[in-house]
Amino acid sequence: MSADLTQYVNLRPLDITPTQVYLDSIEVARNVFPGFDLRPGTIEDAMFQAFAYMSSLNIGSINRLPDSLILGLGKMLGTPYVDAEPATMNVTFTANSNDGATIPAGTIVRYTPTTDDGETAVSYFFETNESVIIDANNLDDPLPTGTVNCSSRSLGVIFSIDAGTSLNLESYSQELYSAVSAGDFVQGIDGEGLDDFLGRVVSNFATMSSALVTTNQLNNYVLVQYPQLVTRSKVYDLTDPDGGRVIGEATVAGKILVCAYGPQRVLTNGEITSLDTDIAERVVAGLEVGVVSPVFANFKIVVTCSYYSQFEEANVETVLMNNLLNKFSPGECQWTEEKLKYNDVLRFFYSNPSIHSVDSLTISKTDSATITGAVKSGDNVTYTATNTFSIDDVVTVTGVSPSGLNCSAKVITARTSTTFTVVNSAASGTYASGGTAAVTSPNWGSVSGSDILYSTKGTLLNLQSEKIVLTLNSVSI
């Protein structure tokens, strides 16, 4: 039986006012002495009111256990707490002269991202984790440089910083000329809220046995014991980890598949091996468990919406695009059903307060485009076609003259809005005319009514911006 500790953190709904205590006390007294009559202004009435007031204060205090007490209890029961961690990256400093320089530990640099409108809302400060000496060089050489690892002074997730990004020197030094990011950016981790932690405490209770037997126990164990490594997990019973992972395949007794996804990324092979080893030691004898990464399914949305005229069209489009990409991303999409539901997409648009109506909506796993050119370079063939394809889509090209430039079931390795590229070493000829490209996004099954079914166990949605075709019409109400 799962425990629910949230009620013990704050019991304010159970607070009782002095008036309630006072009236209840009179009721209790009358149960003992039916003729009891408490008259206002008497000593007895004053005592009842005083006792009621003091009792209410005591009840309110008891109903407010400190959060730290519950936090400590959860940790004692073996539930790790996710503390916020800073982002880190390497920074290359350039000395102000050929004499070299010293970069003290704690030297501060600032990164200020520029938004689309040219205005900046926030800056991020990094400081060096250790002291580094930049060696001197010859006068005719470029100014010497030194690279050191730095940590963000802000905990949690921040803007990702690309290598080569210019940084502002905030710590004054006559020896330093400039600083740029040098890559190896590692994103920070947001701290865990108490409600999220208590939810995992409850899950931890469900795993407390000498061996993991049920899929629910196993899933809870992975999420509770690896909160910084695994953010999403799904366990499939009677599934061979070395099999095809096809939904609807025959069951396999004694085998269990665990699909685990990390913090906005897939797990490395080493992380999967460590997780697999730990689980194998925890499961009941006779069960074979394998850990794998999820597969991803992209899809196309073509939608026409009417929005209220008091909203700016550009703002409505930006909000819809960003929210769509978030809702149908690997970290946020639903993972309870093995299908993409049309009504989930429709409901998303109607949940936006700027939307008056959805005039038309289509979701699909396929796409197409008309080819107007093709060039082979090495083993690659780049086709010219205005498209909404994505990398990893599977494309079949037909109708090109000469036919040597046609292809079947090739994976798109690169694309722009007007071109896409596949690997096809057997292709030949110089493009003359014609051609149609038909694309299917991988890991989809059949269409069921307005919904699209998954084909593979452990599928997560991964919608890409090029797959969203959005038309907005203004309406006045």
- Is residue 1 very low, low, confident or very high in pLDDT (cuts 50, 70, 90)? very low
Q: Which long-range contacts (CB under 8 A, 24 or more apart) does 249-252 make?
A: none
On whether the CB atoms of residues 26 and 51 are closer than 8 A, the answer is no
Judgement on whether residues 246 and 332 belong to the same structural domain of the protein? no
Say if residue 343's pLDDT is above 80.
yes
- Residue recorded with tokens 């396999």: 252
- Distance CA(129)–CA(87), nearest Å, equals 12
What per-residue confidence (pLDDT) applies to 372? 97
Say if residue 300's pLDDT is above 70.
yes
Judgement on whether residues 454 and 318 belong to the same structural domain of the protein? yes
Judgement on whether residues 269 and 198 belong to the same structural domain of the protein? yes
What per-residue confidence (pLDDT) applies to 83? 78
Judgement on whether residues 471 and 332 belong to the same structural domain of the protein? yes
What per-residue confidence (pLDDT) applies to 114? 65
C-alpha separations of 197 from 72, 73, 75, 155, 206 in Å: 11, 11, 10, 18, 15
pLDDT digits (tens, 9 = 90+) for 436-459: 999 999 999 999 999 999 999 999
Q: Is residue 412 part of a domain?
A: yes
Q: Quick one: average pLDDT of 318-325? A: 92
Q: Whole domain around residue 27: which residue ranges? A: 6-65
Bond prior to 402 in cis (omega within 30° of 0): yes
Q: Is residue 408 part of a domain?
A: yes
Say if residue 7's pLDDT is above 60.
no
On whether the CB atoms of residues 159 and 111 are closer than 8 A, the answer is yes
More confident residue, 380 or 115: 380
Domain final residue pick, 156, 181, 206: 181
Say if residue 4's pLDDT is above 60.
no
Q: Is residue 373 part of a domain?
A: yes
Report residue 293 as tokens.
């990464």
Judgement on whether residues 92 and 177 belong to the same structural domain of the protein? yes
What per-residue confidence (pLDDT) applies to 383? 98
Judgement on whether residues 125 and 268 belong to the same structural domain of the protein? no
CB neighbour list of residue 208: distance below 8 Å, 6 or more residues apart: none
DSSP secondary structure letter of residue 401 = B
What per-residue confidence (pLDDT) applies to 205? 63
What per-residue confidence (pLDDT) applies to 33? 75
Judgement on whether residues 339 and 456 belong to the same structural domain of the protein? yes
- Is residue 211 very low, low, confident or very high in pLDDT (cuts 50, 70, 90)? low
Q: Which residues pair with 419 in a beta bridge?
A: 384
- Distance CA(82)–CA(193), nearest Å, equals 9
Lowest mean pLDDT among 29-38, 106-115, 259-268: 29-38
How many other β-carbons are positioned within 10 Å of the β-carbon of residue 27? 10
- Identify which of 215, 222, 216 has the alpha carbon closest to the alpha carbon of residue 2: 216
Lowest mean pLDDT among 56-60, 86-90, 151-155: 56-60
Q: Is residue 332 part of a domain?
A: yes
- Is residue 3 very low, low, confident or very high in pLDDT (cuts 50, 70, 90)? very low
CATH number at residue 373: 2.40.30.180
Judgement on whether residues 95 and 217 belong to the same structural domain of the protein? no
Q: Is residue 377 part of a domain?
A: yes
Judgement on whether residues 167 and 207 belong to the same structural domain of the protein? no
Q: Is residue 80 part of a domain?
A: no
Judgement on whether residues 348 and 413 belong to the same structural domain of the protein? no
Say if residue 390's pLDDT is above 60.
yes
Domain final residue pick, 256, 271, 293: 293
Q: Is residue 256 part of a domain?
A: yes
- Is residue 162 very low, low, confident or very high in pLDDT (cuts 50, 70, 90)? confident
Say if residue 157's pLDDT is above 70.
yes
Q: Quick one: average pLDDT of 202-223? A: 72
β-pairing verdict for 288-292 and 255-261: parallel
What per-residue confidence (pLDDT) applies to 31? 73
Burial string for 146-163 (b: 16+ CB within 10 Å, else e) reads bbbbbbbebbebbeebee
Q: Is residue 470 part of a domain?
A: yes
The mean pLDDT value of the chain amounts to 87
What per-residue confidence (pLDDT) applies to 209? 58
Say if residue 472's pLDDT is above 50.
yes
- Is residue 287 very low, low, confident or very high in pLDDT (cuts 50, 70, 90)? confident
Judgement on whether residues 106 and 205 belong to the same structural domain of the protein? no
Domain count, the chain: 5
pLDDT digits (tens, 9 = 90+) for 178-194: 999 998 898 888 777 76
What per-residue confidence (pLDDT) applies to 64? 65
What per-residue confidence (pLDDT) applies to 442? 96
Say if residue 19's pLDDT is above 90.
no
Say if residue 348's pLDDT is above 80.
yes
DSSP secondary structure letter of residue 212 = B
- Is residue 254 very low, low, confident or very high in pLDDT (cuts 50, 70, 90)? confident
C-alpha separations of 20 from 16, 25, 153 in Å: 6, 8, 50
Judgement on whether residues 22 and 51 belong to the same structural domain of the protein? yes
What per-residue confidence (pLDDT) applies to 264? 86
